[in-house]
Amino acid sequence: MLARLNVALLALLAPALSFAGDAISATEKQPLNLHAIGMFVLFVSMTLGITYWAAGRTKSASDFYTAGGGITGFQNGLAIAGDYMSAATLLGLTALVYTKGVDGYIYMIAFFAGWPIILFLMAERLRNLGKFTFADITSYRLNQSKVRTMAAVSSLTVVCFYLVAQMVGAGQLIKLLFGLDYNIALFVVGALMMVYVTFGGMVATTWVQIIKACMLLAGGTLVAVLAMSQFGFSFEKMMSQAVSLHSLGEKLLFPGTLLPDPITALSLGLGLMFGTAGLPHILMRFFTVTNAKEARKSVLYASGFVAYFFNVILLMGFAAIIIVGQNPEFFEGGQIGGKIVGGGNMIAMHLAKAVGGNLLLGFLSAVAFATILAVVSGLALAGAAAISHDIYARVIRKGKATETEELRVSRFASVGLGLVAIVLGIAFEKMNVAFMVALAFGIAASANFPVLILSMYWKGLTTRGAIIGGYSGLIAAVLLVVLSKSVWVTVLGNAQAIFPYDQPALFSMPLAFLLTYIFSKLDNSPEGNAERAMFDDQYVRAQTGFGAADASAH
């Protein structure tokens, strides 16, 4: 049970869809769900319409990567919230509250607390220094080829692992919700993603994300309100029933096995907080707004929506203990307390059905599918930008590629990433992919974040330090995850994990910082000195936004 929970928790680490493999592979294909398919078709036609409209507006590289920088703070806030609130948030966290009570709430605050920090320390500098990718910032005064290559390698690693985790989860979930075959589901997701990104670029991706965020907020709120109405909207009444009916009883109100020791707690907190601040698709969203003012507003709106939704999920989880947990219809063989129909992740869906019938169930299923599509699109775009903007245009062509050439490469890259995602998704169908999410967050926190934050804050940073520190963080994160239980025991079948924690950030992130610091300090090369000298101008631009990539440059 404990092992299973740990795997489930790792899966939940992602603000995106990824499910505990064993929880989901245990589910059978469900009968075709016509309500859900109807609503999903509606969503797809709407988003394809938007893509058609966006394609007409996507002419320059700036349009493709950052929607021409014309997204408002409010729109971007919704889109960031959309990137952050995934199907795993809706399904996984509701299930976590349902089974573990207050533990789920503790988990959610860890997800949330990174946002204020991103605002205070990063948002305005990101916008003032960045253009299309976060490597624009790290390579601002450092060696273009070396630093961009490293940023692209770690970005693509993060994107690929994340995409595969998404695709596997997507296939399983769609099989479950819509009764579609796993492989067909993967092709549908991959194909739609390629269409959105290739033709519509960031404009389409942003709007898909916004529509989905609105659907998710509306769907969750509706379910929570209908559920609360059964208790006369009284939290106390609901809780007293939940505590008396749940097998944990009073323990529902106490922290359980989620954070067994301070090291786990700290590593989880660090990984979630700074991993978020190093995810390429999240960072890219900061370049889509007009200026630092709008970048700050984006975080304000995004964190508001996220905080609101997490509290909605808390209510859904507790209400489900009574409404779903006492209804034999939702248990296999009608055995209350037995195996949940469709697996543990279906709690939110069952709750929707219990309070709103098949129509609400269909709506929420469509929301879950839309969520997957939106998140994979954002990831694919970030990956394509790393290939075309960083590797092709800056490293291979040394900045001499025309915009048309760069755009052509980015579109091929999007299609390529889509195909890779489908193929790997099929290859990994039977595998437990939870470790991939831990890996993505670990790499983001250990390879991307330290170099990014130091490049903005520390004059002493040089190329040598950044390269050594960044690659060490990358390698350390990968190694620690491989040696942890989720790969060493679950995937490779060894008896005992060598690294006892699930999240590597507490160890690999300080290592990256330390090595970057030491090797920058020891760097006395003329290049290093020239790089330090360039910090002053960069600093003024970071603080004032003067000279920042212009939103209306095209």
Partner 1 sequence: MSTNASQNAVYARIRKNPRFAELVSKRQGFATLLSVIVLTIFYGFFMVVAFNPNLIGQRLSEGSYVTVGIAAELFMFIFFWVLTAVYVKRANGEFDAITTEIIRDASKEVK
The interface with partner 1 within residues 518-547 (CB under 8 A) comprises 536-537, 540-541, 543-547
Q: In angstroms, rounded to a whole number, what is the distance separating the alpha carbons of residues 384 and 391? A: 10
266 near partner 1 (CB under 8 A): yes
Nearer to partner 1, 136 or 531 (CB): 136
105 near partner 1 (CB under 8 A): yes
The set of residues, in sequence order, having a beta carbon less than 8 Å from that of 165 and lying 6+ positions away, is 14, 16, 17, 18, 433, 434, 436, 437, 440
With CB under 8 A as the contact rule, the residue among 100, 127, 131, 212 that binds partner 1 is 131
Stretch that binds partner 1, among 14-22, 146-154, 239-247, 346-354 (CB under 8 A): 239-247
Nearer to partner 1, 494 or 543 (CB): 543
With CB under 8 A as the contact rule, the residue among 181, 250, 332, 550 that binds partner 1 is 250
Cα pseudo-dihedral 425, 421, 282, 68, rounded to 10? -150
With CB under 8 A as the contact rule, the residue among 19, 40, 98, 112 that binds partner 1 is 112
With CB under 8 A as the contact rule, the residue among 11, 61, 87, 136 that binds partner 1 is 136
Nearer to partner 1, 299 or 413 (CB): 299
Q: Which helix (H) or strand (E) holds 69?
A: none
Cβ atoms of residues 323 and 354 within 8 Å: yes
Nearer to partner 1, 264 or 365 (CB): 264
Which amino acid is located at 534 in the chain? M
Write down the least CB distance from residue 308 to partner 1, Å: 9
Write down the least CB distance from residue 341 to partner 1, Å: 29
Q: Is 229 helix (H, G, I), strand (E, B) or coil?
A: helix
132 near partner 1 (CB under 8 A): no
Write down the least CB distance from residue 131 to partner 1, Å: 8
Write down the least CB distance from residue 106 to partner 1, Å: 6
With CB under 8 A as the contact rule, the residue among 9, 50, 95, 110 that binds partner 1 is 110
Which amino acid is located at 86 in the chain? S
Write down the least CB distance from residue 518 to partner 1, Å: 25
Cβ atoms of residues 189 and 170 within 8 Å: yes
121 near partner 1 (CB under 8 A): yes
With CB under 8 A as the contact rule, the residue among 299, 313, 315, 511 that binds partner 1 is 299
Nearer to partner 1, 148 or 350 (CB): 148
DSSP letter (8 states) at residue 463: H
293 near partner 1 (CB under 8 A): yes
Helix, strand, coil fractions of the chain, as percent rounded to 5: 75, 0, 20
Cβ atoms of residues 429 and 448 within 8 Å: no
Q: In angstroms, rounded to a whole number, what is the distance separating the alpha carbons of residues 274 and 540? A: 25
398 near partner 1 (CB under 8 A): no
Using the structure block, give the residue that is written with the tokens 């929880």: 23
The set of residues, in sequence order, having a beta carbon less than 8 Å from that of 149 and lying 6+ positions away, is 390, 391, 395
Using the structure block, give the residue that is written with the tokens 């694919």: 380
Nearer to partner 1, 119 or 167 (CB): 119
Cα pseudo-dihedral 216, 439, 162, 307, rounded to 10? 20
With CB under 8 A as the contact rule, the residue among 1, 2, 31, 236 that binds partner 1 is 236
Closest CA to 431 of 169, 159, 89, 90: 169
Stretch that binds partner 1, among 44-52, 245-253, 334-342, 362-370 (CB under 8 A): 245-253
Which amino acid is located at 226 in the chain? L
222 near partner 1 (CB under 8 A): no
The interface with partner 1 within residues 137-196 (CB under 8 A) comprises 140
Closest CA to 11 of 29, 1, 30, 24: 24
Write down the least CB distance from residue 134 to partner 1, Å: 13
Write down the least CB distance from residue 406 to partner 1, Å: 16
Q: Where are the alpha helices (DSSP H) in 92-181?
A: 94-100, 102-112, 114-118, 124-129, 135-138, 144-178
Count the alpha carbons within 13 Å of 522 in the hemisphere toward its beta carbon. 11
With CB under 8 A as the contact rule, the residue among 102, 188, 197, 208 that binds partner 1 is 102
**Partners of 499 in the beta sheet?**
484
Write down the least CB distance from residue 289 to partner 1, Å: 13
Nearer to partner 1, 105 or 162 (CB): 105
Binding residues with partner 1: total (CB under 8 A): 54
233 near partner 1 (CB under 8 A): no
DSSP 265-307: HHHHHHHHHHHHTT-HHHHHHTTSBSSHHHHHHHHHHHHHHHH
Using the structure block, give the residue that is written with the tokens 């760069």: 406
Q: Report the interface residues with partner 1, using CB under 8 A.
A: 102, 105-106, 108-110, 112-113, 115-117, 119-121, 124, 131, 136, 140, 235-236, 239-240, 243, 250-251, 253-255, 259, 261-262, 265-266, 269, 292-293, 296-297, 299-300, 303-304, 307, 310-311, 536-537, 540-541, 543-547
